[in-house]
Amino acid sequence: MSGILNNFPRFELRKAIIKARVMTGTYILQADKHKFTHYNVEATCQLCYSGNEDVTHFLTTCPILSTTREKYFSEIREIITYEITAEKWNNVFKNKAAISQLNSRLYKI
């Protein structure tokens, strides 16, 4: 297995590890560190510094991750709107928290 991993660029490998941790709920966000350290660590997102880095911010709001987010959510949107209407997609997923819950549900299946 390590031979296979050596063929990936370090940056791509790091991204894959982060994605796997986010999908499994084991990635520690700044908001988690904030709680675990009894508020000694700031909850502010270390990528954009524009909000608290919780699951909703990380998956739906952080402007630094917008390109990555659009790539993956457009694929998810396409799959779901094939099964339901685009109107229903818009009604259900106006709420950013609903989108972040969708992410966790997709990977529990």
pLDDT tens-digit map of 27-53 = 889 898 898 888 888 999 999 999 999
8 A C-beta contact, residue 45 and residue 55: no
pLDDT at 104 over 60: no
Entry pTM: 0.62
